[in-house]
């Protein structure tokens, strides 16, 4: 009896705590709803109070993870060149599974962006600057900037999980001061039956005024999970990120007989049913030791904490292997574009990285878990069809051998299917109009608040 009761009590207490937390969140949302029902008056949202006809539209880009910044950067670049907008790109820490805050490459991504727009990085806001690159925390990860002090009218994020943000930066905190806009850094590939609904959960997205979906299918997914009291206007605008990947030249000729560079991007959480980390690591290490491949290990973006802190997934000897093996490299650069450019072959399990890998035009291997049926209708119909699919070590080794042996002919064959899938499935997600659409939406929306 004790064995049954002991695990039950913590679970019961967790559910009680969760219900209480949800209740408080619901009450706060209702309070903000009442504020916004004031109508279109400037007082409904704090940072709209002093808005005048001649004012620029002030947009804040909240960047808490370097790996997701590439979804926001195209719009940030476009608006930074537009005299009708003021732009703040803010690097902030994020909370990871160990309970600590980390930069997660946000500052590194900000440094690269600041070079592109020739704007220095600061740690304080300048009221007279039209474009700013700001780090909003100090060396001890203490927050130095808050939503109200930015005086922004719109805040763009790529991750809606406010539980990962520092105090003062929850969705509710931001929504009291400005309007929230969501651009997905990923495209959901998970089957609904798998219950992967976190990033479309209504409790996260109900505070967002605008949700910009990459495809019609993903617009439907978001709509199906929202409730009637949500602020959200859900618009399928396409994806500047997808467009950027398709238009980037990732070509890297593989010389005849030379070792292929293989980029492996597994989910590093070994308890995740979608992770194939433990299944293929030994095989890939063996192939690298035998001088058959050059292996680029790229930690899955969502698994940073397991990579940095939870070293129990690998022994110290295995960690040392990365530092000593001549054909193995650990790549933790925030930009996966760089990883793609270095590689001849890309490998991913169930993840948005699978979509990015396919769009790069490189031979992409999907390591399916043993259960199968992981992918939703969109990704199973399109992405899956454009990948080599393996479900055990023998099939992976065989596919790697075939690609290396017949690289040129395989690339030629892939190009035909690649063009067909991109034209049929991504045509509504691509196009140079994405920036203009988003800009026009902001311009039209803010007119409502100008006296």
Q: 337: exposed, middle or buried (C-beta count within 10 Å: 0-12, 13-18, 19+)?
A: middle
**Tally of CB atoms within 10 A around 398:** 13
Here the tokens at position 91 are 């690097």
End-to-end CA distance of the chain: 69
- Decide if 294 contacts 327 (C-beta within 8 A): yes
Instruction: Using alpha carbons, list the distances in angstroms from residue 169 to 93, 126, 143.
Output: 11, 20, 10
Q: Angle at CA 211, nearest 5°, toward 44 and 148?
A: 40
User: Look-up: residue for tokens 């559910």?
Assistant: 15
Looking at residue 181, its pLDDT comes to: 96
Digits of tens for pLDDT over the chain (451 positions)? Answer: 444 444 555 666 767 777 777 788 888 888 888 777 654 444 478 888 777 776 789 999 999 988 889 899 999 999 999 999 999 999 999 998 778 898 989 999 999 999 999 999 999 999 889 999 999 999 999 999 999 999 999 999 998 988 899 999 999 999 999 999 999 887 777 765 544 556 677 888 889 999 998 888 888 888 887 777 778 889 988 888 888 888 889 887 665 557 899 999 887 766 666 778 878 888 998 999 899 999 998 877 666 677 676 667 777 777 777 777 888 888 878 888 888 999 999 998 878 888 899 999 999 999 887 666 677 777 777 788 888 989 889 999 999 999 988 888 888 888 888 888 888 777 666 666 788 889 999 999 998 887 7
Residues 80-105: pLDDT tens digits? 999 999 999 999 999 987 788 989 89
pLDDT of res. 428: 64
Alpha helices in 382-433 (DSSP H): 393-405, 407-425
Strand blocks (E) in 39-190: 57-63, 85-91, 94-95, 101-102, 121-122, 131-135, 154-157, 179-183
Q: Which residues pair with 165 in a beta bridge?
A: none
The closest of 47, 136, 139 to 89, measured between CA atoms, is 136
Q: Where are the alpha helices (DSSP H) in 42-201?
A: 69-80, 106-117, 147-150, 171-177
As a whole number of angstroms, the distance between CA 105 and CA 111 comes to 10
pLDDT of the residue at 14: 67
Residues ≥6 apart with Cβ < 8 Å to 68: 158, 159, 185, 186, 301
Give the whole-angstrom CA distance, residue 58 versus residue 181: 13
CA distance 384 to 19: 38
Work out whether the CA dihedral 4, 5, 10, 16 comes out positive or negative. Answer: positive
CA distance 402 to 410: 9
Question: For residues 204 and 164, is the Cβ–Cβ distance under 8 A?
Answer: no
Residue 198: per-residue pLDDT: 64
DSSP H or E run through 13? helix 2-36
Left, alpha or beta for 347 (phi > 0: left; psi -120 to 50: alpha)? beta
DSSP 8-state class, residue 190? B
Residue 439, token pair as written in the block: 């800009």
**Separation of alpha carbons 260 and 294, rounded Å:** 6
| Token pair of 205 as six digits | 């997205």
């Amino acid at each position: 009896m004790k064995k049954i009761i002991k695990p039950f009590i913590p679970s019961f207490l967790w559910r009680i705590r969760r219900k209480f937390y949800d209740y408080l969140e619901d009450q706060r949302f209702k309070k903000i709803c009442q504020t916004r029902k004031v109508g279109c008056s400037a007082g409904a949202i704090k940072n709209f109070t002093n808005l005048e006809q001649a004012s620029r539209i002030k947009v804040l880009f909240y960047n808490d993870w370097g790996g997701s910044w590439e979804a926001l950067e195209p719009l940030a670049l476009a608006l930074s060149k537009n005299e009708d907008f003021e732009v703040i790109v803010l690097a902030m820490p994020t909370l990871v599974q160990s309970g600590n805050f980390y930069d997660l490459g946000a500052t590194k991504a900000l440094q690269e962006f600041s070079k592109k727009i020739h704007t220095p990085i600061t740690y304080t806001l300048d009221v007279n600057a039209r474009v700013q690159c700001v780090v909003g925390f100090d060396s001890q990860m203490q927050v130095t900037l808050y939503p109200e002090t930015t005086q922004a009218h719109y805040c763009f994020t790529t991750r809606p999980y406010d539980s990962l943000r520092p105090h003062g930066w929850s969705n509710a905190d931001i929504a009291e001061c400005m309007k929230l806009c969501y651009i997905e850094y990923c495209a959901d590939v998970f089957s609904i039956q798998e219950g992967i609904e976190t990033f479309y959960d209504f409790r996260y997205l109900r505070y967002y005024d605008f949700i910009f979906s990459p495809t019609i299918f993903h617009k439907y997914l978001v709509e199906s999970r929202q409730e009637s009291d949500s602020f959200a206007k859900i618009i399928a605008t396409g994806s500047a990120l997808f467009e950027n990947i398709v238009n980037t030249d990732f070509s890297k000729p593989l010389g005849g007989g030379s070792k292929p560079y293989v980029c492996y991007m597994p989910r590093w959480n070994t308890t995740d049913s979608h992770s194939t980390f433990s299944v293929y690591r030994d095989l890939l290490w063996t192939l690298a030791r035998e001088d058959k491949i050059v292996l680029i290990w790229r930690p899955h973006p969502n698994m940073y904490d397991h990579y940095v802190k939870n070293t129990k997934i690998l022994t110290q000897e295995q960690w040392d292997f990365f530092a000593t093996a001549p054909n193995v490299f650990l790549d933790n650069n925030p930009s996966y574009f760089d990883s793609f450019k270095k590689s001849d072959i890309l490998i991913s399990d169930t993840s948005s990285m699978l979509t990015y890998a396919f769009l790069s035009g490189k031979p992409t291997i999907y390591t399916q878990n043993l259960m199968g049926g992981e992918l939703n209708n969109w990704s199973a119909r399109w992405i899956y069809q454009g990948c080599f699919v393996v479900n055990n070590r023998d099939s992976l080794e065989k596919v790697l051998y075939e690609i290396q042996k017949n690289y040129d002919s395989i690339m030629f064959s892939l190009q035909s299917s690649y063009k067909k899938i991109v034209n049929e499935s991504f045509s509504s997600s691509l196009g140079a109009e994405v920036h203009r659409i988003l800009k026009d939406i902001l311009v039209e929306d803010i007119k409502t608040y100008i006296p």
